[in-house]
Amino acid sequence: MPVTIAKMNWNDAAEDLLQQILAQTPRPVRDEAEAQLRGTAERLAEDDGKSRVGVETVIAAWVAVTPEAVRPDLPRQMERFGLDPAEYGHLLDKDR
């Protein structure tokens, strides 16, 4: 019998944030970006023992998959989405 992997649940706010991020992503790479963000967020949630992806996990995934060259622009993008970048400094400063 094939093994089926349970689909990770996403709360509405996390899904909304993901869609906002994707709306800012160039159309030619949007599907690939969505797959990468979803996969990373679900892996992070699973690693934390969660059965649901929340906003914090989406933000952590977003920072993780953002190329180093454009990562300095993330605080400005977070502000556009109504997020306080200071709350995510621990994620943003991780590689500096």
pLDDT tens digits for 24-79?
Answer: 999 999 999 999 999 999 999 999 999 999 999 999 999 999 998 999 999 999 99
Tell the residue number behind the tokens 């995510």, with chain if given: 88
Residue 83: CB atoms within 10 A of its CB come to: 17
8 — pLDDT class (breaks 50, 70, 90): confident
CA–CA separation, 72 and 20 (whole Å): 19
- This prediction has a pTM of 0.87
Looking only at the bridges linking them, the beta strands covering 52-53 and 9-10 are: parallel
Cβ atoms of 92 and 63 closer than 8 Å:
yes
2 has a pLDDT exceeding 80: no
